[in-house]
Structure 1
Amino acid sequence: MSMRATMQERMPLGEATAWKARALRELEAGRARLQAMLAPVPEVELMRQHSPLMSPLVWDVAHVANYEEQWLLRALGAPAFTDPAFDAIYDAFRHPRSTRSTLPLLEPEAAWAYATRVREAVRAHLEALPEEGADPLLAGGYVFGMVAQHEQQHAETLAATLQLMTHGEYNPVEPPRHQPGAVPQHEVLIPGGPVHLGGTEAWAYDNERPRHVVDVAPFLLDAHPVTTGDYLVFVESGGYEDPRWWDPRGFAWLQAEGIRHPLFWMPQGQHVWLRRRFSTVEPLPKDEPVQHVSWYEADAYARWAGKRLPTESEWEKAAQGSDGVARGHPWGNDAPTDAHANLGGTRWGPSPVGSHPLGRSADGVFGLVGDVWEWTSSDFQPYAGFRAFPYREYSEVFFGTESKVLRGGAWASAPVAVRNSFRNWDFPIRRQIFAGFRCARDVR
């Protein structure tokens, strides 16, 4: 099969043309978000390594610009701005995050200037490109979608870095907190049957392909993610001290690191808890989905509750609905709004469960998209027939049993990078990411 034929299968009829306006809109949205996020941060904090888990903030600025230069200019026939040796400094695979502060990084003013020059050249080059042609990178504007999503994914990474920042202050402005009525947790029966896994949208990544059918047995799924209040019961009942609930590797990690509660929680005495959210210390909000929990913590809670984590096939089955209708999001194919999901980084944290009623799935499951990434029980593995495109390092090098799949996106995820088929992944010890979970249970 030719690469062109493969790319034609990547999109529904009609998406092969008229993609330029979308590409420019999403590129500009990502850049505006990045600039707004970092504008309040002093230069010294932009250059500082705030955690060995994360890059200096300024590294991400130049990295997204360099990635854009490589894929939207050089790969599409435009001249280079920089010596290719410059690429090595901002190569995410060559330098671990913990060492990037030792590199000769561009200072903030120069990094933003570089990003601006690249973007100006991309705008001009975009106008000259054909809407369709033989280049698989341009089919449906794929490479532009890849770069737009990449910049928004780094905006989410920057939000995680800002949460870890302990030098200086970061107090983002956000809209008023949702005040939904009480929404009790309950289980939803997801009927068994076939589910089409994977994406056909033009900008879907290689790890979402090929679209294929699997059978899923009936199961019960929590209607909402596990809340902070739910998880607090596990913590206060001694869940972190009881090895019965833990994967042995997780319990060993717990003991070695001295972990007794989710990241950023602050015990203040008997039954009194605070949390740090960016530079604000506030009471633990019991009605929000719990976040900053690792896969091991999520798995332990599920065992303690007499349940389990859903597989990623089950998660996608629940997101698509059991009625056989093709949906890009749990509610349908409409673009997300605030009534559907908490996305885009405008709220700077999860909303109380039940805040987005229009986001309910066809089977009655709430909050599958937005608020927190949801850990699944599945290892990050390729689908049968997977083909790396356009480079191995996006997905293929990470396949295996070391990482677990997360689904659904978080409050810091951009709508352009969230869909039913989107697959995220990370190590089971990761806690700085905006991850939570919901539980599932077999039908008996």
Structure 2
Amino acid sequence: MTAPEAPADPALLRERALVALTAARARTRLLTTCVDDAELTAQHSPLMSPLVWDLAHIGNQEEQWLLRAVAGREAMRPEIDSVYDAFEHPRAERPTLPLLTPAESQRYAADVRGRVLDVLERTPLHGAGPLTDAAFAFGMIAQHEQQHDETMLITHQLRRGPAALTAPEPPPSKGLPTPEVLVPGGPFTMGTSTEPWALDNERPAHRRDVAAYWIDTTPVTCGAYLNFMADGGYTQSRWWDPAGWAHITEHGIRAPLFWREEGGQWLRRRFGVTEPVPVDEPVLHVSWYEADAYARWAGRRLPTEAEWEKAARHDPATGRSRRYPWGDADPTPAHANLGQRHLRPAPAGAYEAGESPYGVRQLIGDVWEWTASDFLPHPGFVAFPYREYSEVFFGPGHKVLRGGSFAVDQVACRGTFRNWDYPVRRQIFSGFRTARDASVEEGAR
């Protein structure tokens, strides 16, 4: 078994769903009330939607799945379905659509939520079908809203102007662990068949055999990345995937997104504040191509997705796979940097309590970690409850990211959770760690 079963008591299931939905809505409210209507309706980057689109889209998805699909109710505003269909309208064109105003969007989302709470109270959560068993649909919608909250936080990072958000600093590191650890070869259980709110691409659990390898105990830091830059990392094609080299050459990229050099010092912009690049913090806002080039420069490589998950979940003492690196218990502030509790990654080596059995830290939270792998289905994959969540993205065009970032809520982040994006993407809260093959002798230890 790869994870504990959901609480069987319907009251506990309802409470879990209520807590998740309430936390997501509180965060949505924070992200959409800290700026004025002009900021909500502006498009701060063609890569992102106006914040007001995300707000109404959250309400529309909640209505479609929980009021219509689960409760069988009539559509509240069927005329807006196409406006807030993410597949029908790319982000760059969404400002031209007949969007609800900020006030209308807020009222709509609140009206939907009021009705959803009534549905949650009345819906059987066992035996009525896979959409409602273990409150799956309610958990799916809570995850969806938190994912859009992360998207809106990215928009806040992209917007210009004074800071609109504040948060306390993350905890310091008490010291770096050994730079890398050996993960012995052998099989482990990847994915899950029992995590109640796991999404379709995390399923099913299956055995993977992985050769021995070494993996970094922390994500690559800004200081280490500055060494790559100082050694001509952005000027030597030999380190780059050909497509990556063409991309950075065409766009004149010579540093992570939001970095600039001034007076011989590298600075970065972070949520409206300009500050020196922190050398002890995991590097952030790098593309897959940049991560891959750094790894080659360092004489290493990016870990595969299976290697990442084995380092994060496999317990060599028992042979089982955990929900999280530290065990099966939900994250606490001592385990990981999650939920927008802080507005930056913690220094490398922080969160000792979140360490995996192999001694690897910060696998959950802080930064999404690029892997070497294309986004592909697990063996036995079945699309549920709709193809457009995962299946349409499978293939070599998207690379897998694992682990979550400081912007991810715990409901949308676990040891099996899979994210994916284009290899050029840099506005996301992405970093990486590196790996290398182990020798035959090392693998036999």
Conserved in 2, the CA contact under 8 Å of 1:190 and 1:322? Answer: no
Q: Distance in 2 between matches of 1:177 and 1:64?
A: 29
Identify the residue that residue 267 of structure 2 maps to in structure 1.
274
Q: CA deviation at 1:13?
A: 4.6
Sequence identity, in percent? Answer: 56
Superposition RMSD on alpha carbons, in Å?
1.5
Identify the residue that residue 35 of structure 1 maps to in structure 2.
29
- Pick the aligned partner of 1:173 from 166, 170, 177: 166
Q: Distance in 2 between matches of 1:276 and 1:257?
A: 19
Q: CA deviation at 1:326?
A: 3.0
- The number of residues matched between the two structures is 434
Map 1:53-202 onto structure 2 (within 5 A): 53-166=47-160, 168-183=161-176, 186-199=179-192, 200-202=194-196
| Equivalent position amino acid for 2:275 in 1 | E
Map 1:298-309 onto structure 2 (within 5 A): 298-309=291-302
Q: CA deviation at 1:194?
A: 0.7
Map 1:349-364 onto structure 2 (within 5 A): 349-364=344-359
**Alignment gaps of 5+ in structure 2:** 440-445
Q: Distance in 2 between matches of 1:231 and 1:210?
A: 36
Identify the residue that residue 262 of structure 1 maps to in structure 2.
256
Conserved in 2, the CA contact under 8 Å of 1:10 and 1:202? Answer: no
Q: Distance in 2 between matches of 1:181 and 1:128?
A: 49
> For residues 188 and 76 of structure 1, do their structure 2 counterparts lie closer, same or farther at Cα, with a shift above 3 Å needed?
same
Q: Distance in 1 between matches of 2:369 and 2:8?
A: 32
In the TM superposition, what whole-angstrom CA distance separates every residue of 1:201-247 from its partner, at most 9, and x where no partner exists?
00000001111001001100001000000101101111000001000
Identify the residue that residue 224 of structure 1 maps to in structure 2.
218
Map 1:281-320 onto structure 2 (within 5 A): 281-320=274-313
| Equivalent position amino acid for 1:359 in 2 | G
**Alignment gaps of 5+ in structure 1:** 1-8
TM norm structure 2: 0.95
Q: Distance in 2 between matches of 1:79 and 1:22?
A: 24
Conserved in 2, the CA contact under 8 Å of 1:171 and 1:280? Answer: no
Conserved in 1, the CA contact under 8 Å of 2:177 and 2:349? Answer: no
| Equivalent position amino acid for 1:278 in 2 | F
> For residues 394 and 172 of structure 1, do their structure 2 counterparts lie closer, same or farther at Cα, with a shift above 3 Å needed?
same
TM norm structure 1: 0.95
SS at match of 1:425: strand
Q: Distance in 1 between matches of 2:427 and 2:78?
A: 33
Q: Distance in 1 between matches of 2:388 and 2:416?
A: 20
Identify the residue that residue 423 of structure 2 maps to in structure 1.
428
In the TM superposition, what whole-angstrom CA distance separates every residue of 1:180-199 from its partner, at most 9, and x where no partner exists?
23426611001111111112
> For residues 174 and 197 of structure 1, do their structure 2 counterparts lie closer, same or farther at Cα, with a shift above 3 Å needed?
same
| Equivalent position amino acid for 1:354 in 2 | G
Question: 1:348 and 2:306 equivalent?
Answer: no
Q: CA deviation at 1:103?
A: 0.4
Question: 1:415 and 2:389 equivalent?
Answer: no
Question: 1:238 and 2:232 equivalent?
Answer: yes
Shift >4 Å, 4+ stretches? 9-17
SS at match of 2:98: coil
Q: CA deviation at 1:178?
A: 2.4
